[in-house]
Structures are given as C-alpha cells and as structure tokens.
Amino acid sequence: MTAEHDDTQRPAHAPDEPLTIGEMSRRTGVAPSALHFYEGLGLIASTRTSGNQRRYARHMLRRVSLITVAKRLGIPLSDVQEAFADVPLTETPSHADWQRASRRWKRDLEKRREGIERLERELTGCIGCGCLSMKACGLLNPDDTLGSQGSGPQRLRDAD
C-alpha cells in the first residue's frame, strides 16, 4: 500500500472507454492470468481490438469485484456462476438484472452466515461451560454418548 500504483502516470480515459486487461488487473487487484481464466469460465467477457487485445466494459469491474469477495468468503466459482446466471454478460446489466442477482446472493450469504453463527454459538457455549471436553454438553455432540444410537455428530452436520 505504498506509492506503487500511481495512476497519474497511467493513461487517463474518458469515463466510458473500455479498459485493457492491465487496467482491470490494477483496479481489481486480480492478476491478468486470473482474468483470462474467469473469461474462459464465462464469468466475465471482453471484446477484442483489431489487434486481438482484450477490452473490458466498465461493468466488468463489478463482476470481478463480486468474484473476489465471493472467493474471500470461500464461495466456489461455480456458485458465482449460478448467481450471475441471469445477469447479461455482454451488455451493461439493467437495474433489474442486478437486483435479481443480489437477492440470490443474499439468500446464499444468509445461509452461510447462519452456519457460522451456529458454530459461534456452539463454541461460545463451550467456552462458558468448558463442555468442549465434557460429556454432559449436547451442543458440540459429546464424544459418544449419542453415538451408539447411530446419531453421529448430528448437531454439527445438519446445518445444510
């Protein structure tokens, strides 16, 4: 986070000009090779110049940002692909397009958050009572008191 990318030396574009792959990379923090990769998966799209170089419409920045966030949260690209399913790739997506995608995402995120919250609660409870090592605690599934009924670690597994 130093003066390493000083865009004052970079070409200044009109606000609606398409971006080169290098610009996309600098702006999103995603390597050009990864952008190639995402394009191969159909997660993003580009047009080509007469000289076969990629040019990205500005709305691709958002797609890449969303991919990045998803990754950070451990969401696989296949899920991102689904979330983007109805968002047009080649034209600028409409208000409604992104609204739909947003709602879809939000449901997915809610599930994830709930999974984490559940685990947090369980761990918190166990911090309080120390039951992570005690048979009496039903939260994290005691080592084996339920086991012989074939229950297994249900509490930790039924979160789907």
Partner DNA sequence: GTAGAACCTCAAGTACACTTGAGGTCAAAT
Partner DNA sequence: ATTTGACCTCAAGTGTACTTGAGGTTCTAC
| Contact (CB, 8 A) for 143 and 151 | no
Contact between 148 and its own copies by CB under 8 A: the answer reads yes
Which residues inside 3-22 make contact with DNA, applying CB under 7 A?
A: 11, 20-22
As measured in angstroms, the least distance from the Cβ of 150 to its own copies is: 4
As measured in angstroms, the least distance from the Cβ of 36 to its own copies is: 19
DSSP structural state of residue 131: G
**Nearest Cα to 86, choosing from 102, 70, 74, 71?**
102
* Euclidean distance between CA atoms 104 and 82, whole angstroms: 9
* Euclidean distance between CA atoms 42 and 55, whole angstroms: 15
Which residues inside 30-49 make contact with its own copies, applying CB under 8 A?
A: none
Using the rule CB under 7 A, give the single segment among 44-52, 57-65, 82-90, 143-151 that binds DNA: 44-52
20: helix, strand or coil: coil
* Euclidean distance between CA atoms 55 and 120, whole angstroms: 44
* Euclidean distance between CA atoms 8 and 27, whole angstroms: 14
Which x/- pattern over 44-73 shows residues binding its own copies (rule: CB under 8 A)? --------------xx-xx--xx-xx--xx
Taking CA atoms, 159 is separated from 107, 153, 155, in Å, by 15, 11, 8
Task: Give the total residue count for the chain.
Answer: 160
Contact between 76 and DNA by CB under 7 A: the answer reads yes
- Single out the residue of 36, 62, 103, 111 in contact with DNA (rule: CB under 7 A): 36
Which residues are near DNA by CB under 7 A?
Answer: 11, 20-23, 25, 31-34, 36-38, 46, 49-54, 67, 71, 76-78
Which residues are near its own copies by CB under 8 A?
Answer: 5-8, 10, 12-13, 15, 26-29, 58-59, 61-62, 65-66, 68-69, 72-75, 92-99, 101-103, 105-106, 109-110, 112-113, 115-117, 119-120, 123-124, 126-127, 130, 132-134, 140-141, 143-145, 147-150, 152-153, 156-157, 159-160
